[in-house]
Structures are given as structure tokens and as C-alpha cells.
């Protein structure tokens, strides 16, 4: 069921069993979720560009306890604050600097009190816990213009879903102020790694975008790599070496049941991805030392090659409209990035021409950029370029950065960074698409191969 909202009230009926694995049902909602247009929101606005952006000072008044919920209110506020300040676009003014605090959630806002501490935006929240249900309300204000930014909202959920409520709240604040799509209420699938570097044990997990609530969907009995969400997040593709040879597997996330995709004897399949409409799976297939891009019909299992060359061609990724595929190939003598029609009807066009080699391309959900891994000399980079190869921009540089994946709104890229040395350890990091705000993800242990799923319903 799609997530929907009325401007005055939003009710999330969260089932504890599907906080991670299933959609969130909406109740008492009359209109589809629509982010406010920039011109309708008054003067308060962050314009995000490639240059330096000064963090907006915001005040988050301590959330009101409306019935035995002081601890829950503090936890929800903490997550909201972490979501917003973690973007590096917002700076929280500490509560110790607040001149005054409203006596109640519905009280009129004394704007001069908040202007006195140079707050540009104010968030008011309240939380109640009754009969195992948490109810959270929030209001957002433009302090300098003295007006609300949209109507207030209310979120209702079982206590087990309190973090999703916090992410939904933060998403609304982020979207209203930046004018961009939200991304906090989303999940990431990844590979957890344990053991020595030359004998790693790997298992696939799914977690909140910020590293919380990890759920393990495979064990470490077989080597697994490259998990990839379906467009709606209900399925996972991944590559398993359980039979000794790489083979693409398809998992239903709700049941955690997997099955192998059809594979011709004597071949290997790997690096799979769904098409935007989930009708097709595109992947690499190796036979007799030759690796090409293949396409499979999910419903029938029918498959056909999209490339047939002597080169190694892998890491395919669809454009968001499903009309093109970007992939890496060494047909020019070095690893480079190519784009071709999704049906393979025309020759691929090379789009990477800088120094070094390029790989693991991933098309942005917004369609305007392609992220990639670049190696130049002894340095690795995560970068982005336009689909025609212009405006290349390197976002990172290190001993080994690889495997970029996009946030649902196309604003943030997550990737794997490995430390040097014999005991080098992979960790997940993220960086803003402008190259700002590079930070490690808070998750215990080594991790690699992230894939950012869609915004949850």
C-alpha cells in the first residue's frame, strides 16, 4: 500500500514484524504525499550547490512528553537531530542557548525569542506512548519570516517502529527546507565481513540508512557478494558461490527465501541488477573465458546477450527511465565506462576519457549523473559524471574506494573504503554529491558492497 498523507495529519500503522521488511500502511490520509514547492514555502530555503554551504542554524525545542513518554521523546528527538545535522546542511543550536521554551506544543510561537539566538528554523515536537503505541507530532517554523513551513503532522506507530517515525519526521523537515526529495527513511543492503583478509566470511544484511537495526538475511556458510535491491525493495539479487561457481540468486525479503536464477551449464553469472520496472534483470555472464552483459525476463526466465565481444563487460546499471544501460568494459584496452540502449540495439558509446581506469558505474535515481570508481596510479576515487561523460567530478581519494550506490533522492553516495595493509578492513562511507561531508557509517565490524534501497512506503 503506498504511503499517503493529509496536510493536517499523518498516521503510520507500523507492524513490528515489518519495521525492516515490509511497507508502512497509512490510515486517515486523503492525499498522496507531495513535497511542498519551493515558491510556496516562503523565504526560508537552503540552496545546495557545488560550492561551500554554510550550515543553517536550527533550534529543536525539547520534545514534549504527552503521557509517560519522556524517554521515547528524547530518543525520537535524538534521531531527528542526527538525521538533519548528519547532512552537514543544518547546525543545531543547543538547548542550553534557548532563551525560552513554549509551555505547550500547540502554543503560539514567540518568534523574537528564537531570533535572539539566530535560529533560522524551529522544530517543535511532542510524543505520547499509550497501549504500546507511540504518537509523535511536529511543527516546523521559519523564524525570520515568522510563519510556519507547512502544516503540522502526526505519526502513529507501534513502539517498535519509533525510529521510522523519527526518520519520517526528519524527512519532512529536510524536504521542506531544501526542496529536495527525502532519504532518511530508507534501507541499505550490504555484505558484513569477518575473519582474516585472505579468508573472509561474508553474509548479507539489511539495515536502516544510518546503520541501525541490522537484519541478517544470509549466513556466512557460502561466499556472497553484490546484493542489489529491487526498485520497490521487496526483493534482493545477489551473487552466491555456494556451489563453487558464482551464480545469481533472487531473494524475497519478507520471507528471506532465495532461489537461483536459471544458469546454463559451464557458465558463471554475477553483478546483477533489476530494471526500473522490475521486468528485467541485467547481469554479467562468463563462458569460455568471455564475459558479456546479458538480460533475463524475470517472469519467463528467457535470456539473451546484450553484448557479444571479446572484451570483459560487467557491472551493468539501468538509467532510471529504463532506456539505457551503463557498464564497464575493457574493449579499449583499459577498463572504461560505456552506455548503450537497454535492448542492445546499438553499439555502446564510451563516455569515460580521463586518465586512469573506470568501473562499477551506477546511474543516479534522478538520471542526471552516473557515479563510478576510478583508479589513477595508486589512488582510488569515487566520482560522478554526466551521462554523456562531461563534467567529471571526483568526490573522494584514498588507498581503495569502490562500489558507489545512490541515496533515493540522488543527493548522497555510499561506497566501500578499505584501509591499506595486510589486515586492511573495508568500511562503509558516504559523501555528498558535491564532494562535501564525507563520513563513515556507524556500523559494527567490517562491511562492503552497499546498495541503497528506495524510500520506504
- Averaged pLDDT, 152-180: 95
Domain with CATH 3.40.50.10070 in the chain: 55-178
Residues 410-427: pLDDT tens digits? 999 999 999 998 778 999
How much is the pLDDT for 7? 24
Rg of the chain on CA atoms, in Å: 23
Residues 50-84: pLDDT tens digits? 555 789 999 999 999 998 899 999 999 999 999 99
User: Does 356 score more than 90 pLDDT?
Assistant: yes
The backbone region for 115, taken as left when phi is positive above 0, alpha when psi lies in -120 to 50, beta otherwise, is: alpha
How much is the pLDDT for 230? 98
How much is the pLDDT for 15? 27
Q: Which residue has the cell 534521531?
A: 79
User: Does 38 score more than 50 pLDDT?
Assistant: no
Q: Which residue has the cell 576519457?
A: 353
- Give the CATH class of 55-178: alpha beta
Confidence of residue 169 (pLDDT cuts 50, 70, 90): very high
Fold of 186-455: Neuraminidase (2.120.10)
How much is the pLDDT for 421? 83
* pTM of the predicted protein model: 0.89
User: Does 11 score more than 60 pLDDT?
Assistant: no
How much is the pLDDT for 101? 85
User: Does 1 score more than 80 pLDDT?
Assistant: no
How much is the pLDDT for 164? 96
How much is the pLDDT for 263? 85
- Averaged pLDDT, 309-334: 97
How much is the pLDDT for 301? 93
- Averaged pLDDT, 207-227: 96
User: Does 291 score more than 70 pLDDT?
Assistant: yes
Q: Which residue has the cell 521487496?
A: 234
Q: Which residues have a Cβ under 8 Å from the Cβ of 184 and sit 6 or more positions away?
A: 83, 167, 168, 170, 171, 174, 209, 210
Residues 82-141: pLDDT tens digits? 999 999 999 999 999 999 888 899 999 999 999 999 999 999 999 999 999 999 999 999
- Averaged pLDDT, 394-413: 98
The average confidence (pLDDT) of the chain is 89
β-bridge mates for residue 398, sequence order? 380
Residues 360-383: pLDDT tens digits? 999 999 999 999 999 999 999 999
In angstroms, the CA 173 to CA 123 distance is 8
Domain with CATH 2.120.10.30 in the chain: 186-455
Confidence of residue 18 (pLDDT cuts 50, 70, 90): very low
Amino acid at each position: 500500500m503506498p504511503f499517503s498523507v493529509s496536510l493536517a495529519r499523518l498516521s503510520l500503522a507500523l507492524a513490528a514484524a515489518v519495521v525492516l521488511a515490509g511497507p508502512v500502511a497509512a490510515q486517515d490520509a486523503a492525499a498522496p504525499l507531495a513535497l511542498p514547492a519551493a515558491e510556496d514555502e516562503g523565504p526560508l530555503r537552503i540552496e545546495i550547490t557545488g560550492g561551500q554551504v554554510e550550515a543553517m542554524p536550527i533550534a529543536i525545542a525539547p520534545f514534549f512528553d504527552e503521557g509517560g513518554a519522556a524517554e521515547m521523546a528524547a530518543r525520537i528527538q535524538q534521531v531527528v537531530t542526527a538525521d538533519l545535522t548528519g547532512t552537514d546542511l543544518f547546525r543545531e543550536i543547543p538547548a542550553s542557548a534557548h532563551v525560552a521554551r513554549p509551555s505547550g506544543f500547540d502554543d503560539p510561537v514567540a518568534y523574537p525569542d528564537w531570533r535572539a539566538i539566530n535560529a533560522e528554523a524551529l522544530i517543535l515536537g511532542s510524543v505520547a506512548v499509550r497501549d504500546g503505541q507511540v504518537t509523535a507530532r511536529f511543527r516546523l517554523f521559519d523564524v525570520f519570516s515568522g510563519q510556519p513551513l507547512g502544516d503540522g503532522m502526526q505519526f502513529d506507530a507501534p513502539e517498535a517502529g519509533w525510529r521510522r517515525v523519527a526518520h519520517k519526521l526528519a524527512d519532512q523537515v529536510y524536504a521542506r527546507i531544501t526542496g529536495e526529495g527525502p532519504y532518511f527513511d530508507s534501507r541499505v543492503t550490504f555484505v558484513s565481513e569477518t575473519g582474516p583478509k585472505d579468508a573472509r566470511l561474508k553474509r548479507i544484511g539489511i539495515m536502516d540508512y544510518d546503520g541501525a537495526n541490522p537484519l541478517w538475511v544470509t549466513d556466512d556458510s557460502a561466499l556472497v557478494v553484490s546484493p542489489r535491491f529491487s526498485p520497490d525493495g521487496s526483493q534482493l539479487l545477489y551473487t552466491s558461490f555456494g556451489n563453487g561457481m558464482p551464480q545469481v540468486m533472487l531473494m524475497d525479503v519478507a520471507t528471506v527465501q532465495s532461489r537461483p536464477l536459471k544458469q546454463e551449464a559451464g557458465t558463471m553469472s554475477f553483478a546483477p541488477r533489476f530494471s526500473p520496472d522490475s521486468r528485467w534483470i541485467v547481469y554479467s555472464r562468463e563462458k569460455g573465458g568471455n564475459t558479456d552483459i546479458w538480460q533475463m525476463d524475470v517472469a519467463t526466465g528467457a535470456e539473451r546477450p546484450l553484448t557479444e565481444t571479446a572484451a570483459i563487460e560487467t557491472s551493468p546499471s539501468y538509467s532510471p527511465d529504463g532506456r539505457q544501460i551503463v557498464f564497464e568494459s575493457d574493449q579499449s584496452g583499459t577498463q572504461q565506462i560505456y552506455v548503450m540502449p537497454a535492448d542492445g540495439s546499438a553499439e555502446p558509446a564510451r563516455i569515460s576519457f580521463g586518465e586512469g581506469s573506470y568501473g562499477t558505474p551506477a546511474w543516479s535515481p534522478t538520471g542526471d549523473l552516473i557515479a563510478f570508481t576510478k583508479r589513477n596510479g595508486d589512488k582510488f576515487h569515487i566520482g560522478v559524471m554526466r551521462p554523456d561523460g562531461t563534467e567529471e567530478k571526483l568526490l573522494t581519494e584514498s588507498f581503495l574506494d569502490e562500489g558507489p550506490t545512490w541515496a533515493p533522492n540522488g543527493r548522497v553516495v555510499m561506497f566501500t573504503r578499505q584501509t591499506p595493509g595486510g589486515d586492511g578492513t573495508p568500511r562503509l562511507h558516504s559523501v555528498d554529491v558535491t564532494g562535501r561531508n564525507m563520513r563513515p557509517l556507524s556500523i559494527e565490524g567490517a562491511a562492503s558492497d552497499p546498495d541503497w534501497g528506495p524510500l520506504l512506503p
